[in-house]
A = this chain, B = another copy of it.
Amino acid sequence: MNDHHEQREGTALPATLPVTDRTRHRRLREQGSLDRADLEAVLDAGFVCHLGVVVDGGPMVVPTVYGRDDTHLYLHGSVASRSLAADPDAPVCVTVTHIDGLILARSVFEHGVSYRSAMIHGVPRRVTDPEEKLRGLRLLTEHATPGQWDYARRPSRKELAATTLLALSLAEASVKVAVGPPDDGTGPDAALGIWAGNLPLTATWGAPVPDPLLPAGIEPPRHIAGRSGTRQG
Contact = CB atoms under 8 A, between A and B. Distances in A.
A21 B186 CA distance: 51
Q: Which 5 A-B pairs have the closest CB atoms?
A: A185-B213, A52-B59, A200-B206, A52-B61, A58-B91
Task: Please tell me how many copies of the chain the complex holds.
Answer: 2
A54 interface: yes
Interface stretch (A7-15, A31-39, A115-123): A115-123
Interface of A: 2, 21-22, 26-27, 47-48, 50-63, 65, 78, 91-95, 97, 99, 101-102, 104-109, 111, 113, 115, 117, 119, 121, 137, 141, 144-145, 148-149, 151-156, 159, 162-163, 181-182, 185-186, 189-190, 192-214, 218-221, 224, 227-228, 232
A143 to B, nearest CB: 11
A213 to B, nearest CB: 3
